Amino acid sequence: MKNILITGCSSGLGREAAIALANRGHFVYATTHTKEQANKLNILNRKWHLPLYSFKLDVTSQNDRKKVDIINIDVLINNAAIGDSGSVCEIDVNKYRSVFETNVFCTIELTQRVLNNMINKKEGRIIFLSSLSGKSPIPFLSPYCATKFALEAIGESLNKELQVLKDIHIPVILIEPGAYATGFNEKNISKQFPLMHIKSYFKNYVKKLQLKQYAYFKLIESTNINSIIKEYIEAVEDENPKERYLAPSIQSKYIKLKITLSKLIYS
């Protein structure tokens, strides 16, 4: 049994991963953005009787991040994330700042606090939720994609840095989900269009862009999340973990092929 803290468990993959890991006997701190979300999860767990406890941990709150200082955490899963959308040529830069604040900067700050205890006890495991879009960007979703590109670099760098410390065993792992039908992608896509309807270089193309982007995700999104939840479990439990865990396999293979072809074409 491991003590696992997961951020962003109010819904989606974080919530399902927390339940799955608790079902396997791990004690899971399933943290949420608000107290109401945490209370709802705790009430549900009165029926499930799982080794799971939920509390508010807004990663952007310094006071909330301090809560991890008194918890014995074996595995940290940085799952919380937000997104936004729009064209790079006109989107408000503050939207980039907001997404980076949650997905990158505050995630680093939380990780540093947890690492302090892990390094003292000489073991632990850090997991970052990246994305396949952190390897192959999607037009008009760059605020989100850019943060996942950043986590790719941060996770890989941290993994190699911790290997320098003698007698310390803290692997750093990246989980790279593809597109799943959780509603997250559609919510992000919708954020760009109110501005585009009013004033945008793309004003005359709004309807076409809406149809294309929603159709794209409807086509590729997987409705079965079991494949990615399996990757969460393996990332936590594998004795010799891989640096990256990817799913669904068909999407990850497509991205690998796309990247390979791009290198061949432009080399």
Q: What is the pLDDT of residues 180-195, one digit of tens each?
A: 999 999 999 999 999 8
**Confidence bin at 254 (pLDDT 50/70/90):** confident
Tell me, what's the pLDDT at 190?
96
Return the amino acid letter for 152: E
Position 230 pLDDT exceeds 90:
yes
- Residue 260 pLDDT greater than 90, yes or no: no
Which residues, at least 6 apart from 42, have a Cβ–Cβ distance to it below 8 Å?
A: 53, 54
Is the per-residue pLDDT at 262 higher than 90?
Answer: no
Residues 6+ apart with CB under 8 A from 117: 69, 72, 73, 124
With contact defined as beta carbons under 8 Å apart, do 58 and 64 qualify? yes
Band (pLDDT 50/70/90 cuts) for residue 267 is: low
Residues with active-site annotation: 144
Residue by residue, what is the 3-state secondary structure of the chain? CCEEEECCCCCHHHHHHHHHHHHCCCEEEECECCHHHHHHHHHHHHHHCCCEECCECCCCCHHHHHHHHHCCCCEEEECCCCCCCCCCCCCCHHHHHHHHHHHHHHHHHHHHHHHHHHHHHCECEEEEECCHHHCCCCCCCHHHHHHHHHHHHHHHHHHHHHCCCCCCECCEEEEEECCECCCHHHHHHHCCHHHHHHCCCCHHHHHHHHHHHHHHHHHHCECCCHHHHHHHHHHHHCCCCCCEEEECHHHHHHHHHHHHHHHHHHC
pLDDT band at 266 (very low <50, low <70, confident <90, very high): low
Burial class (CB in 10 A: 0-12, 13-18, 19+), 164: exposed
In this predicted model, which residue has the larger pLDDT, 256 or 90? 90
> How far apart, in whole angstroms, are the C-alpha atoms of residue 121 and residue 142?
39
- Average pLDDT in the 132-159 region? 97
CA–CA dist 267, 263 (Å, integer): 6
| pLDDT at site 7 | 98
Superfamily of domain 3-181+223-266: NAD(P)-binding Rossmann-like Domain (3.40.50.720)
Instruction: Judge whether residue 158 has pLDDT over 70.
Output: yes
Q: What is the mean pLDDT of residues 101-120?
A: 98
Q: pLDDT tens for residues 68-83?
A: 999 999 999 999 999 9
**What's the pLDDT score for residue 188?**
96
Give yes or no for residue 226 having a pLDDT over 80: yes
Q: Which two tokens stand for residue 81?
A: 């994330």
Domain spans in the chain, listed from the N-terminal domain onward: 3-181+223-266
**Beta pairing class for 27-30 and 244-247:** unpaired
Over residues 216-238, mean pLDDT = 96
95: confidence class by pLDDT, cuts 50, 70, 90: very high
Cα–Cα distance, 30 to 50 (Å, whole number): 11
Number of neighbours of residue 12 by Cβ within 10 angstroms: 16
Q: For 11-27, what is each residue's pLDDT tens digit? A: 999 999 999 999 999 99
Average pLDDT, the chain: 96
